[in-house]
Amino acid sequence: MRILHIIKNFDFGGAENHLCELANSLDLIGNEIFIIGGSGRQKAKLNPTIIFIPLRLRSLLFLMNLLMIACYVIHYRIQVIHAHQRYPILLASIIGKITRVPVVSTVHGRSQYDLRHRISRKYSSKIIFVSKFVLKASSRFPDIQDKVVFIPNGVSIAIKKPYNSSFRISYISRMDSKHSSVIILFIQKVLPRLIKDYPMITFNIVGSGYCLQEVKKEALQLNQEFNREVCILSGFQSEVMAHIQESALILGVGRVALEALACGVPVLSVNKKHLGAMISTKNYSWYKENNFLAIANDPPNADSLYDLLHAYFANFSYWQDETELLKKKVDEEFNSLKIAVRIESLYKELI
């Protein structure tokens, strides 16, 4: 099949990482894959047989974007259009209607945002949700319920990592205001207390963005206070798997949490809005349905974060063994090639 994916940005983020993984997997199982989107650093990770078409997607350029993408659809004889993020979904829905090509839309965030336009809901042939929680919330749109399907993000399963006895905690994300607030709270209020209990702890910060300088300032200040490199500023990394495998613990949700579990690395579910628990075999089923996000919990605070992390390092061997069991579950349910086959089957239904 000839499949066109449309995404606004193709740099670092959950939707972008998902698309890169999906495109490569669809390519490996024999499809012709095209991607249109803003040129970003994910491009370098694509299989060489995938055709990437850089195009600045902006609302102010709506008519130009519409016409150019429609021309590509006709020129490459595209059979399915798959859109990611709000603006691409709107564009794809109109283009699909004009060219009579079926449109698949993936909701990576909130349905009330990604599917805000009635056109997007009406002309999407199928709508994929990667979170069951968001899928349930989509009931506010009764007009799409016969189109929705739950297919989680896929992930590459890493080879079994050697037993990790390090004290490295990692946070991998864009450095925007949401993520930087959690990182700064951790640096200012949690790390100094943890270091007294576990002097070898380090904190690896991976990612870039407009809040990086603010994070860097706090990190350097803590390093000076302890006269060693407690905070490691790794910046943007096109490939984060090595950073995950070198970590004793990942702080995060969503895609990063899934990638960590696929590597056999323990995960504490936390973001700006919700502080969850360590992902375990007991709570895994619930967390996987909610994109590894503790949707009903309160925001993180220093005392709760410290207590969870102190308990984790006090039971380090237990969590290493627990996560090896989770790694097998992730392989069964989230293997990127298995997810790609499910999505390919969805495409075949439409054409």
The 10s digit of each residue's pLDDT in 34-55 is: 999 998 888 888 999 999 999 9
Per the domain annotation, does 124 fall within a domain?
yes
Write the DSSP assignment of 248-309 as a string of letters: SEEEE-HHHHHHHHHTT--EEEE-SS-EEEE--TTTHHHHHHTTT--TTSPPP-HHHHHHHH
Tell whether the model's pLDDT for residue 159 goes beyond 90.
Answer: no
Cα distance between residue 247 and residue 169, in whole Å: 6
Quick check: 194 and 161 in contact, CB under 8 A?
Answer: no
pLDDT at residue number 213? 94
Residue 304 lies in a domain: yes
Look at residue 253 and tell me whether its pLDDT is greater than 60: yes
pLDDT for residue 122:
94
Full domain range(s) for residue 77: 2-154+336-350
- Residue 15: pLDDT above 90? no
Mean pLDDT within 99-112: 91
Residue 209 lies in a domain: yes
pLDDT at residue 235 in the model: 87
Whether 200 contacts 167, CB under 8 Å = yes
Rounded average pLDDT over 275-290: 94
pLDDT at residue 225 greater than cutoff 80: yes
In this predicted structure, what is the pLDDT of residue 110? 80
- The CATH number assigned to the domain holding 34 equals 3.40.50.2000
Residues 115 and 11 in one domain: yes
Strand blocks (E) in 121-252: 126-129, 148-150, 168-172, 202-206, 231-235, 249-252
Name the domain count of the chain.
Answer: 2
Q: What is the mean pLDDT of the chain?
A: 92
Output the pLDDT for position 165: 56
- CA 89 to CA 103: how far, in whole Å? 9
Residue 289 pLDDT > 80: yes
291 vs 228: which has the higher pLDDT: 228
Would 162 be classed as within a structural domain?
A: no
- In a shared domain, residues 137 and 13: yes
| pLDDT above 80 (res 6) | yes
| pLDDT of res. 40 | 83
pTM for this one?
Answer: 0.77
pLDDT surpasses 70 at 164: no
State residue 161's pLDDT score: 58
137 shares its domain with 176: no
Indicate whether 148 and 172 sit together in one domain: no
Average pLDDT over residues 189-199: 95
**Does pLDDT of 160 surpass 70?**
no
In a shared domain, residues 117 and 177: no
90-99, 139-148, 233-242: least confidently modelled range: 233-242
Domain presence at residue 161: no
Residue 153: pLDDT band by 50, 70, 90 thresholds?
confident
Residue 14 has a pLDDT of 76
Instruction: Indicate if the pLDDT at residue 303 is higher than 80.
Output: yes
> Is the same domain home to 57 and 11?
yes
Q: Are 62 and 40 in contact (CB under 8 A)?
A: no
How far is Cα 13 from Cα 174, in angstroms, rounded to an integer? 7
Overall average pLDDT of the 250-278 stretch? 94
27 and 98 inside one domain: yes
d(CA 177, CA 157): 31
Distance CA 1, CA 215 (A): 45
